[in-house]
Amino acid sequence: MKLIFGLGNPGKQYVGTRHNIGYETLDSIGIKYVVGFVKKDRFKAEIAELNLQGQKIILARPLTFYNHVGESYRALCDFYNLAVEDTLIIHDELSLPFGTVRVREGGSDAGNNGIKSINQHGGHGSMRLRVGIANEDRQMIGDIDFVLAKLKSNEASRFQSDILPTLHALMEDFAADTLTITSHRHDSGKK
């Protein structure tokens, strides 16, 4: 059994924002495999279950706000008795250009408060799909306003057509125990 944990903020006002890349990714995998999410208060999350590459997978969208996602992560790991290496975190990455996807095992939070919370709750060695969100606007507005802003229409289109298929393939690799440390760059569709 494995956990794929997508970071984001609950609430309609956050749909389509840069900080909700993890949620959007799990929503798309749920649609692809026709599974629905169910609210589970004990986990402070909405979860769905599916079989992927012969492995039972728990998909989880935490219902805590982004800075406290570690609480949900810890509750799920404890209940399902999951080892940290059996968990994959999907999150936005402010330090990477939009269109970049990197796979990383553990590491520091690099200023990402969601990852800081995960690390504080025992997820330091988890696998991570880091999805770059930085663009030319980042230098003009503060980080908080930037990550809580909606993707531009061209970014949303690229996310759907180019980036999501890569994330799906990487999640399938994780389920099959073949995920390796990599970097992917999607340059198509630039301004």
What are the domain boundaries of the chain? Answer: 2-185
pTM: 0.93
C-alpha distance from residue 146 to each of 136, 140, 170 (Å): 11, 9, 26
pLDDT along the chain (191 residues), means of 10: 97 96 96 95 97 93 96 98 96 94 90 94 94 91 93 96 95 93 61 38
Indicate the residue type of 40: K
Catalytic residue among 19, 121, 184, 186: 19
**Catalytic residue status for 19:** yes
Query: Dihedral sign, CA of 4, 9, 12, 13?
Result: negative
Contact 98, 135 (CB under 8 A): yes
CATH number 3.40.50.1470 is the correct assignment for the domain at 2-185: yes
